[in-house]
Structure 1
Amino acid sequence: MQQKRANKMKLDLSILEDARRELVTSQALSNRPIISNIRKFDKNELFALSLICKSNEKLTFEQLCLVEYIFNAEKKWSKSSLKKILDNLIEEKIFYTENDIVKFCGDEFLTKFI
């Protein structure tokens, strides 16, 4: 769980596991399709999810790609591979775009984890 020790929080497998444990003890996991979908992701998709979460409600996909390119060139992602993953996240109703800004579909509980 986030303990407000830092301004930003990285999304990784341990964070998702904390969220899952919290949900299991406090709420029905079956009522959280986003968590169920994310648990099926492979390592590559989780890394992309983490990157996209960092831009939640702040950047367009184009801006996200530019920032990623500035810091990492195409060492981790090509624009097209990241776009495929984002399209999948949108299809799975984990993210959506509004005025080209990438936004998380989760509710208030899940938003505190990203």
Structure 2
Amino acid sequence: MILWEVANENNFRSIGNGRKRQPKYLVIDGQQRLTSLYSIIKSKSIINKNFKNIKIKIAFNPLEEKFEVSNVALEKDPEWISDISEIFSNSPTFSQAQPQQNTQ
């Protein structure tokens, strides 16, 4: 990602949601990555290259410290958080239950 600090904020307009705040930085490189991260964290749909609305879901296994694109198998596996956007929201569906310890 490459950002450029804006010297004169009045020469640029902000983008999205009618925000009034002027930008402090311009994205020179990394717009796709930022869009994907925003979509994943905020659980927002994006328009793909075929102009279709899609929602990207990323799963996380805290025991293995591993990320994967979410799928049906991971959604059913209790060791996985099937959609990390739940962590960043105030969603009651995400509980911080501790995984069961193997007592063998």
TM norm structure 2: 0.25
TM norm structure 1: 0.23
Q: Indicate the structure with greater helix content.
A: 1
Larger radius of gyration: 2
